[in-house]
């Protein structure tokens, strides 16, 4: 693919596949957005690198499968975010259920995720163009970045 064609399609080169596999987690800034690229069990993922909750550094989080979904666990307060969609999962009980059994629920998409593609051993990220506000957007803006730096 020609360089012009890539940028026209919004694809940003982020590194060679081999290097990103070896690194497992890579931090990149794309169009002023700080992104975490993760390689896990043969698949690449990309998401905003600061946790939507209070700006925790997701690159230091463990990855676990929860309710059939791979999640990164924010090291700060242990929120669980799915790698694929950025949904926040939590365990809760329904008080109407007797006896209440703890189950996993979703708070919905809280962390913005981005698309990763490969071409000839090179990896590209396309930023999400979802026009809706996603909570992790806050820590990508000026105010959020200042607040995060103070924490
Ligand atoms: Fe991530 Fe609170 S900052 S769980």
Name the closest-CA residue to atom 4, ligand 1: 77
Ligand 1: atom nearest CA of 51 is 1
Share of the chain above pLDDT 90, in %: 81
CATH of the domain at 21: 2.102.10.10
| Bridge partners of residue 63, in order along the sequence | 72
Predicted-assembly ipTM surpassing the 0.95 threshold:
yes
pLDDT at 1 (0 to 100): 61
Identify which of 36, 50, 76 to mutate to test ligand 1's pocket (most ligand atoms within 8 A of the CB): 76
Placement of tokens 């497992």 in the chain: 24
pLDDT at 88 over 80: yes
pLDDT at 115 over 70: yes
User: For the range 1-10, what are the long-range contacts, defined as Cβ-Cβ under 8 Å and sequence gap of 24 or more?
Assistant: 1/119, 6/124, 9/126, 10/126, 10/127, 10/129
What integer is the mean pLDDT of 75-83? 98
- Report residue 32's pLDDT band, with 50, 70 and 90 as the boundaries: very high
Q: Which domain holds residue 13?
A: 3-150
Tell which residue, 52, 103, 10, has the closest CA to residue 36.
Answer: 52
Name the closest-CA residue to atom 2, ligand 1: 77
- Report residue 146's pLDDT band, with 50, 70 and 90 as the boundaries: confident
Pocket residues: Cβ below 6 A from ligand 1? 51, 53-56, 74, 76-77, 79
Q: For the chain, how many structural domains are there in total?
A: 1
């Amino acid at each position: 693919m020609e360089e012009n064609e890539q940028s026209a399609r919004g694809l940003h080169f982020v590194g060679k596949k081999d290097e990103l596999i070896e690194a497992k987690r890579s931090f990149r800034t794309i169009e002023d957005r700080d992104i975490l690229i993760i390689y896990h069990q043969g698949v690449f993922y990309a998401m905003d690198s600061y946790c939507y909750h209070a700006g925790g550094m997701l690159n230091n989080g463990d990855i676990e499968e929860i309710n059939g979904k791979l999640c990164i666990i924010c090291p700060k307060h242990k929120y669980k975010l799915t790698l694929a969609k950025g949904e926040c999962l939590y365990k809760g009980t329904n008080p109407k259920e007797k006896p209440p059994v703890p189950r996993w629920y979703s708070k919905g998409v809280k962390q913005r995720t981005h698309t990763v593609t490969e071409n000839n051993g090179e990896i590209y990220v396309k930023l999400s163009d979802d026009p809706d506000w996603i909570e992790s957007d806050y820590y990508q803006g000026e105010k959020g970045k200042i607040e995060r730096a103070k924490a």
